[in-house]
Structure 1
């Protein structure tokens, strides 16, 4: 078995393609609690209260799509070594190692996973001064759930190639993968097509989580599902839809994993385990439709067009 190409430090940011960047930017900056750090005609970069230069990039697109998921690694040497190992394993690179021309700068590469997702490995990205944690605003992105047509292949790639570890399963429907002590940074959901299921934003505490929900209510926005507390991960949840229809989540209190002590388990998919509090009930048809998204071939779409 091949050794993982790199040791991921954390989930840094997510890029989403949306048809109306202005509407989504206004939502995330004026309602959701993020702040614009840079913008141009087709892109907006937004930060949370933490030190990351940006945690969300919104880019103009004909339809909703995943641009890329960015993971932090520690040094340029790790990026270079990852590239060498990726090439040796036949994993395609969209961007060779080098200085990044993104708003946050840094040094990195972009690879393509088996379903066409663009994954960035980067280091030396600009940081910003952390904001006060008194306000009920997100620290940053804590996890992304991805719909997959082959959950076993997806899990194999992210564990064997990118070195992530499986924390838990929800039957054979969902897999929760970690790259640090957080229970999951990526989760895969078996689905009919490849797409973004939702993006989750970490709140400082349960109090901030509830105050954030209250702030959204003040803006006339109610949850698609929640508030509640999941079984896998033990995190609080409340899901909303942004102007593009993409699902965004407030969450807090995610389980912390102690390596060599954590026991991976298979959870049953029943309402009392999807919401331990019993406050949210099972997900509705509406929230499931939003989470299904639209089929997104990612980088593979370019090959389809070219052929």
Structure 2
């Protein structure tokens, strides 16, 4: 089994790298790390970077997860190849781009590009965003799935993900104590559906809500509270059709609960997404 230690970064293609960079700093509140060769890197915590925008196809998305040893990386490559999945080892130049010691690349059954990285660099400096959004960490992604049942099986049998709860057929998957690091949403095509950042408190979330309204950034969903993770949330529009989310107060499922935890089933409708009555555009989570 592939032991995913933590989520590390997303790489997002864009046709307007300067516009995406302005958004990341002035709206999201991320910290610019560096620019190099058509790529711009941003921090949200102690990681070297959590978001990389690059000059390319806006539908070109990558999500990276960390593994903790060379043996685990080699075993992951062998396991994926045994399943007849195409696996490619990263080059030295690609490792340098990502600030990792080594990595492999593959696609999940829906076609989402996944990188498994070894020894990703941490930053020696404290994170401080351009805007005080109260961000604590890059926390999870929503991934599009063309077959939720098939992909749930992949992430929970080939990898170490566990189902915390389900909304309709959409599973929320944890790889550590956090309620979910991966959410699989039904779609007709692959890609990252949303990118989540944890903020320190409901005050941070609500300050951003009014800030986003003032900046005329479209609010996609919220403020609200998820009945699944118990997190308070706010979803809003980003460049190239990407959705970003701030949330706070996410539920933890501790090791002593692993043997007794039973995933709950919620309806794939407004009541399955928010306990307060906020109503999402369900199409945002299912196309």
Q: TM-score, normalised by structure 2?
A: 0.89
Structure 1 residues 121 and 215 mapped into 2: Cα distance closer, same or farther (>3 Å)? same
Do structure 1's residue 144 and structure 2's residue 138 form an aligned pair? no
Deviates most, 266-275 or 133-142: 133-142
**Counterpart Cα distance in 2 of 1:15 and 1:188:** 18
Q: CA deviation at 1:131?
A: 2.6
**Pair 117,265 (structure 1): closer, same or farther in 2 beyond 3 Å:** same
Number of aligned residue pairs: 281
Gaps of 5+ in 2: none
Question: 2: CA distance between counterparts of 1:202 and 1:261?
Answer: 27
| Aligned counterpart in structure 1 of residue 49 of structure 2, from 49, 54, 58 | 54
CA 1:103–1:146: 2 relative to 1, 3 Å: closer
| Residue 113 of structure 2: aligned partner | 118
Tell me, what secondary structure is at the counterpart of 2:241?
A: coil
RMSD between aligned residues: 2.3
Which residue of the other structure, out of 191, 195, 201, is the alignment partner of 2:191?
195
Q: Displacement of 1:101 after TM fit?
A: 2.7
Q: In structure 1, how many angstroms separate the alpha carbons of the residues matched to 2:196 and 2:227?
A: 16
TM-score (norm 1): 0.83
8 Å CA contact 1:110–1:119 kept in 2: the answer is: yes
Distance 2:244 2:163 in 1: 23
Q: Does residue 174 of structure 2 align to residue 175 of structure 1?
A: no
Secondary structure of 2:135's counterpart equals: coil
Q: 1:25 to 1:292 in 2, by over 3 A?
A: farther
Which 5+ residue runs of structure 1 have no aligned equivalent?
294-307
SS at match of 1:109: strand
Q: Which residue matches 2:238?
A: 242
Query: Which SS does the other structure have where 1:189 is aligned?
Result: strand
1:276 matched residue in structure 2? 275
Whether the aligned pair in 2 keeps the contact of 1:52 and 1:126 (CA below 8 Å) is: yes
What CA distance in whole angstroms lies between the structure 2 residues aligned with 1:264 and 1:292?
21
> Deviation above 6 Å: which 4+ runs of structure 1?
none
